[in-house]
Amino acid sequence: MTIVHLLERNAREFGDETALVELNPEQPETRKLTWHEFELVESTPRARSYRREISWNVFNEKANRLANLLSQNGIGKGKKVAILLMNCIDWLPIYFGILKSGALAVPLNFRYSSDEIEYCLGLAEADVLIFGPEFIGRVEAVADKLSQNTTLIYLGAGCPAFADDYNDLISECSGQYPDCTLTEEDDAAVYFSSGTTGFPKAILHNHESLIHACRVEQHHHGQTRDDCFLCIPPLYHTGAKMHWFGSLLAGSKAVILKGTQSRNILKAVHDEKCTIVWLLVPWAQDILAALDRGEIDLNEFDLSQWRLMHIGAQPVPQSLIKRWLEYFPDQQYDTNYGLSESIGPGAVHLGVENVRKVGAIGIPGYGWEVKIVSPEGDTVKQGDVGELCLKGPGVMTCYYRDEKATAETLRDGWLYTGDMAMQDEEGFIYLVDRKKDVIITGGENLYPVQIENFLAAHAKIHDVAVIGLPDPRLGEIAAAIIQLKPGVTCTEDEIAEFCKELPRYKRPRRVIFADVPRNPTGKIEKPKLRKIYGAEGLVDSQNKS
C-alpha cells in the first residue's frame, strides 16, 4: 500500500465528509470557487475573513485531475513536479495529484529568492513548476532560464504571460484515478534541507517513507475520525504535512489556518472544534504572552475539546511548557524530533504519558531505532554526549545527486543527524545542540541549547539565541542574543545576575538585545546571527582584552 491508496480509501468510505478546511481570518476571498467548494464570509470589527472546505471526494477528484493532466503530457515515474505555493486548500490535492501520476513531488520553501528557486529546480531536475500569485515576480526573474527545461503552471487569478493557467489546463481532465501502479519502493518526493547552512540539499524519499510517517503519527497521537487537526506551519515542510498524515490515515478533518496571530489560533480551535494543534515555540510564546498581558480572555472560547498540543522542529524550553500547562491543565502535551532526512517528526518523541520528563525530546518513535555515538562511531555510555543516529523505514534514500554528502550522512543504514544528544538512566534522550553549533571556549565545550533553555526562564525574555563569537584568547565566547517581551526593559547587569546560577564557564560573555530571527519552521537562523554579529564580536573582544 502507498499513501495515495489512503486518499482513494477515504473518498470511497467517507466521500461526503469534510476533509480540509481553509481559514484566512485576515483577508477576504474574492475568486469564484469551483468543484463544490463552500465559502463563508464573516464581518467582524477587526477584519473580514473567509472559510472554504472540500470533502474527501472533491479532494480525491482534484488530485486525479492533476494526475491525468501530468500523465497526458508525459510526466510520470522519474519526473519531478515542484510546488511553490503558500498554504491553501489546493496544496495537498496538488501534492497527491503529483504522486498519483507516479512523478515525484518537490515542495519549495516559500521564502526562497529567485536564485534559490532556480538552484533548487535545477538540482532536483524539475520538469514542472506549479506556483501561486505571491511568487510571480520571483519566478518571472528566472523564467527565461527555467522555461528551457521546466514547464511553468500558475494557480490563481490573472495568469502571467510566461506561464500556463492551472485551472484551464485541468478543467477538461478526467477525475478518475489514472492508470499508474505504485509500490513502496518507488521514489515519491524530493524535499530540501532547511538551508540554514547555505544552499539546501535535495533529500530523496520513497513511498515507504511517506506511509511510515502516517503510521508513526497516528501511533503517537491516536488520531480517530472524531479528531480535527489544526495545521498552521508551512506545508512545504515535512513537519506540518507529516503530522497531517495522521489525519489522512484516520480519515479525519483538518483545518489549514493562514496566519499565526494568537487570537486567530484560539478562535479557529473554538469555531472548528479542533482537537489537536501543532505549534512552533514562537507561537506558543505569543499565546502565553497575550494571556499574561490580559489581551486574550480564555472565557471567550470553548476549548474543552482541545486534547493535545504538541511542538517540534526545535528544542522546547521547560519553562514554556510549565506555563502552558498552568493555562491549559487538561491538555496532553508531546514533543517530536526528526529531520527532513527522516521524513520529518516522530523519529523520537516524548509521549503524552511522559510529561514529567519535559525537557527531553523523548524515546525512539514507533518503528525507529536510536543510538548515540562518539566521533569514532562507538556507542557512548549513558549520560555522555555524542551524535544522535537514527534507523528506520523513514530514513531518506539519499541526498539527490550528492554522493559525497550521502556517504557522510548514511552509514550502514544509520542516519547521522549532526545533533548532539545524551540519554539518561531511564532511556530518555536530551538534545544538547547541533554538532556545528557547539562553542569551544578555552578548551571547554558549550552547548548553546542548554544556555538558551536556562535564559528562556527569565520573566522578561521572549526569545533567545546563543552563538559563538571569535575571541583571540579563548577561541570563542558565548554571546546571547535576547529578544525581550514587548514593553519591558532589561539591562546586561540583570542578565549577568540571573546567570550566576550557571557555572562560570557557561555564562554568556556578551549580551545583545535584538530580535531573534527564525525560519518558517521555527528554527533559529544562527548563520544569519553569526554573519550579523561575528565581525563586530571579534573587534569588540579584541578591544576588551
> Has residue 81 been placed in a domain?
no
The span from the CA of 349 to the CA of 368, in Å, is 11
> Has residue 484 been placed in a domain?
yes
> Has residue 460 been placed in a domain?
yes
Q: What is the pLDDT of residues 183-212, one digit of tens each?
A: 999 999 999 986 544 578 999 999 999 999
Q: Which residue has the cell 505569543?
A: 286
Q: Are 315 and 452 in contact (CB under 8 A)?
A: yes
Note the maximum CA span of the chain: 73
> Has residue 469 been placed in a domain?
yes
The span from the CA of 253 to the CA of 53, in Å, is 10
> Has residue 337 been placed in a domain?
no
Please state the φ and ψ torsions of residue 265, each to the nearest 5 degrees: -65, -50
Residue 20 backbone class (left: φ over 0; alpha: ψ -120 to 50; beta: rest): beta
> Has residue 488 been placed in a domain?
yes
> Has residue 86 been placed in a domain?
no
User: Tens-digit pLDDT profile for the chain (545 aa)?
Assistant: 899 999 999 999 999 999 999 999 876 544 433 333 333 333 333 345 689 999 999 999 999 999 999 999 999 999 999 999 999 999 999 999 999 999 999 999 888 889 889 999 999 999 999 999 999 999 999 999 987 789 999 999 999 999 999 999 999 999 999 888 999 999 999 999 865 445 789 999 999 999 999 999 999 999 999 999 999 989 998 888 899 999 999 999 999 999 989 999 999 999 999 999 999 887 898 899 999 999 999 999 999 999 999 987 666 778 889 999 999 999 999 998 888 999 988 899 999 999 899 889 999 999 999 999 999 999 999 999 999 999 999 999 999 999 999 999 999 999 999 888 999 999 999 988 666 777 877 656 787 888 888 898 898 999 999 988 887 667 788 899 999 998 899 999 999 999 998 878 789 999 999 999 887 666 788 878 888 887 444 434 333 33
> By CB neighbour count within 10 A (0-12 exposed, 13-18 middle, 19+ buried), where does 380 fall?
middle
The span from the CA of 3 to the CA of 466, in Å, is 40
Q: Are 319 and 292 in contact (CB under 8 A)?
A: no
Q: How far apart are the first and last CA of the chain?
A: 64
Q: How far is CA 87 from the centre of its chain?
A: 12
The span from the CA of 189 to the CA of 401, in Å, is 14
Please name every residue paired with 83 in a beta bridge, in sequence order, or none if there are none.
Answer: 107, 130
CATH code: domain of residue 446: 3.30.300.30
> Has residue 238 been placed in a domain?
no
pLDDT at 148: 79
Q: Which domain holds residue 477?
A: 438-544
Q: Are 59 and 11 in contact (CB under 8 A)?
A: yes
pLDDT at 521: 63
The alpha helices in 261-398, defined as continuous H runs, are: 262-272, 281-292, 318-327
Rg of the chain on CA atoms, in Å:
24
Amino acid in the structure at residue 237: H
Indicate the number of domains in the chain.
Answer: 1
Residue 75 backbone class (left: φ over 0; alpha: ψ -120 to 50; beta: rest): beta
- Cα–Cα distances in Å, from 416 out to 386, 397, 419, 485? 11, 14, 8, 37
